[in-house]
Amino acid sequence: AEIEMLLELHGLRESESMYVVRHDMIDTRKNIIYVNGAMVPDKSHKYVEKETNKNYTSTRNVPIMIPRLAALVKVHQDSKTPLPCHSASALLSHVHKTCQRAGITDVGNHSLRKSFASLCFSKGIPDKQIQEWCEIENKDKLPYERRLPTPSVCSTGKKRHRKDC
């Protein structure tokens, strides 16, 4: 489940990460995740492949930003073993257990997706690019951390937010 959690930490939806894993759509040489397709439950709650994503803009290429993902995928590709694919409920269970072991706030799968935008922000990536990779239509939906005023040093020498100077 670690690979799928890392994919969600790269802004992929749960349904997209399951599809990407099943079809080995991760290029470790170019460090790119090709997001094109989804695994969704049918009327009888069995997962079926859908060749299209949620909508047109969901088809995208996302750079691998967390080296651990590329390393795990490369091990499977080198040994010619398929990437593990878990059900949505099993994946969520792994996320909860991982949070407990790490002693951090328990989160769901969607929180992992939102965290990617924060990771991009911390690396200085422009909003427009973050919106494309995370498929965020409205700039106001970027994580709260991205919309905070940028800290600066005021004339007093104290670090404050610009609005306070």
Each residue's pLDDT tens digit, 14-40: 888 888 877 778 999 999 999 888 888
Check residue 149 and give its pLDDT: 40
- What is residue 29's predicted lDDT score, i.e. its pLDDT? 93
Each residue's pLDDT tens digit, 98-113 = 889 989 888 877 787 7
The proportion of the chain whose per-residue pLDDT surpasses 90, expressed as a percent, equals 16
Please, which pLDDT band fits residue 51 given cuts at 50, 70 and 90? confident
Q: Which of 117 and 57 is assigned the larger pLDDT? A: 117
Cα–Cα distance, 155 to 165 (Å, whole number): 8
CA distance 36 to 116: 18
Residue 164 has pLDDT above 60, yes or no: no
Share of the chain above pLDDT 70, in %: 79
Nearest 5°: the CA angle 149, 110, 30 is 85
Whole-number pLDDT of residue 28 = 92
pLDDT tens readout for residues 136-159: 766 666 654 444 444 434 344 444
60: Cα separation from own chain's centroid: 13
pLDDT for res 111? 80
Distance of CA 152 to the CA centre of its chain: 30
Q: Is the pTM of this model over 0.85?
A: no
